Amino acid sequence: MPEQMNIAARQLNDYVASSQSGKKVFYGPLYSAVNLLGLCDANLVLQSQTIEFFQSSQGQNGQGFVNAAGQPRPLRLSETNLDGAPGQLPAGYSFLMTSVGLYMPPQLPPDIKDFLTRHTAIKNVRHSNVWSMGATQFWPCAEFGHQSKSVANNVANAQVQYGVNGAVGMRQFPKGGELYFPSKEVIKFTMETYEDLNCTTNGLPWNNIAFGEEGSNAPNPIDGLVIYIIGEGWRFESLSA
């Protein structure tokens, strides 16, 4: 019996070593979006609060996303590529984050982008450990979106504004300062908002005219007001996952 146990143990070790040697490695982003419009009150006001990213995975409801009827809907791949349990990397999947930033799409109304830049801050939360990363404006991410580098364009009666005349990349972590997220690790970024925000197209209080009607300053409820936390880096996936 002891000899059989030794053989079984060696076979298990061989299997583990083989799985590790065959681990797949990908480079790219790990991202999570929040729809600010879905977090607003009935008057389209976003009350000062803590906004949480990576707390809903792909295919799960949450983070302010709603359907045309106003009911919560599952997040799509266009909104997060986190799968598995909410706020947790799945088994066999680890991520080494080499850079991170807050992405505000060009279509986001200028007043909302100005507010997020001035009156918000970002934190990384790992259980009881909290890294206060600081003001959002120091964690930019503007190298994605429509491939136009002008400061502002008018397209189909909608203003598309960029933060600067040119792309601004995410902040790169120094070697040895990367963020490590092992398999089943809790992953959570938060944004603190310190003032109330009118989530309208012009920054003024909602004029109570429904979107689509003449004179309305309400944003498109289908597109929403989406912002992303994006971390770029290396994804390690075990064959035995």
CB 82 within 8 A of CB 54: yes
10 domain residue, yes or no: no
156 domain residue, yes or no: yes
pLDDT at 1 over 60: no
What is the rounded end-to-end Cα distance, in angstroms, of the chain?
31
Give the H/E segment covering residue 115: helix 110-118
13 domain residue, yes or no: no
Bin 151: left if φ > 0, else alpha if -120 < ψ < 50, else beta.
alpha
Say what percent of the chain tops pLDDT 70: 82
11 domain residue, yes or no: no
Beta strands (DSSP E) in 106-204 are 120-126, 129-135, 140-141, 152-155, 158-161, 171-172, 179-181, 189-193, 197-198
pLDDT at 164 over 90: no
Domain extent, residue 67, equals: 23-237
186 domain residue, yes or no: yes
141 domain residue, yes or no: yes
Q: Give the tokens for residue 42.
A: 């009935």
User: In this predicted model, what pLDDT tens digit does every residue of 114-159 receive, in sequence order?
Assistant: 999 999 999 999 888 899 999 999 998 887 766 455 555 555 556 6
Q: How many domains does the chain have?
A: 1
139 domain residue, yes or no: yes
CA distance 95 to 86: 16
Please report the DSSP string for 224-237 in residue order. Answer: --EEEEEEEEEEEE
pLDDT at 9 over 80: no
Residue whose C-alpha is closest to residue 231's, from 139, 166, 120, 162: 139
User: In this predicted model, what pLDDT tens digit does every residue of 179-201 receive, in sequence order?
Assistant: 999 988 889 999 999 999 999 99
Give residue 144's pLDDT. 76
Give residue 25's pLDDT. 86
CB 73 within 8 A of CB 80: no
Give Cα 209 to chain centroid, integer Å: 31
Res. 88 pLDDT band, cuts 50 70 90? confident
* pLDDT, mean over the chain: 86
14 domain residue, yes or no: no
**Under 8 Å CB-to-CB from 164, ≥6 apart: which residues?**
142, 151
